[in-house]
Amino acid sequence: MLVQNPKQFIKVTFTTFRLFLSTELTYRNQILAWILADIFQPFILAVLWANVARNGSNALSVEQMVTYFFLIAIVSKFTKDFSDQYISNKIMYGEFSKYLVKPFNYLSEALGISMASKFLRLIILIPFLVVTYIFFKDMIIINTSSLNLFYALSAVVIGFIINFLLGNTFALIAFFIKQILGIRSFYENTVTFLSGEVIPIMVMPIWAVILVKVLPFRYTLSFPVEILTNQLFQFEIIQGFYIALFWIISLTIFYKLLYRLALKKYEAEGI
């Protein structure tokens, strides 16, 4: 298990959540940048892919494209993890040592930071999502049956867990490669592309769809959106959950093994 003391883990997580949230609220320019990025990226992509659909160049309709990117803007705020940069920076600048002597799992602090970032971005984005829905409600089609919502909410939770494990496993690379900024940029672009954030998976070539469906990235974002937009049969949803759970188990094991190796590397350097 990653968590030895769940009660302490939760306590540290929410303490970090409050502290990080209060700190971030002092950086108004950064919050403004978040707003612009969170608004314009899905809007521009929705317009672009809606025009492609209007010209009959792919299998999804204009309404499906608008719905897809509207949901991407919402779901991504719940599934994205923002702690990997924080932890990898701590490792690069030799500040990770404090976690080796503190009486709690550093992942609790990482989780609190990620939750605070997600909460702040979502609260800021809500007014714009409401306005968008009012203007485009005739084009937004979502399956809101109770069973479908249950599947989608479960997929969102699983999506965040996978993202959190992926991000914090990747952060451990900083123990072995000090100049990680270029690799981190490659990692983030890979996740963005293969999660379906910029290109809907359903419009990819067949060979790419098959590949993406067995990789973990789809389940960090596209999978819950595909459920809500009624793109999947029930057997495909169940199959998706099995693949996602496989990746959670695999990433947990891989993280623990890599963390043990990383600590040996860290101690060997005498940092």
Q: Is residue 104 part of a domain?
A: yes
Counted domains in the chain: 1
Q: Is residue 1 part of a domain?
A: no
Residue 267 has pLDDT above 60, yes or no: no
Q: Is residue 79 part of a domain?
A: yes
Residue 138 has pLDDT above 90, yes or no: no
Residue 271 has pLDDT above 80, yes or no: no
Q: Is residue 203 part of a domain?
A: yes
Note whether 217 and 189 are within 8 A (CB). no
Q: What domain range is 54 assigned to?
A: 6-269
Of the pLDDT bands very low, low, confident and very high (cuts 50, 70, 90), residue 139 is: confident
Q: Which residues make Cβ contacts (< 8 Å) with residue 16, sequence separation at least 6?
A: 108, 109, 111, 112, 113, 116
In the prediction, which pLDDT does 270 show? 43
Residue 39 has pLDDT above 90, yes or no: no
Q: Is residue 73 part of a domain?
A: yes
**What value does the mean pLDDT of the chain take?**
83
Average pLDDT over residues 66-93: 86
Of the pLDDT bands very low, low, confident and very high (cuts 50, 70, 90), residue 251 is: very high
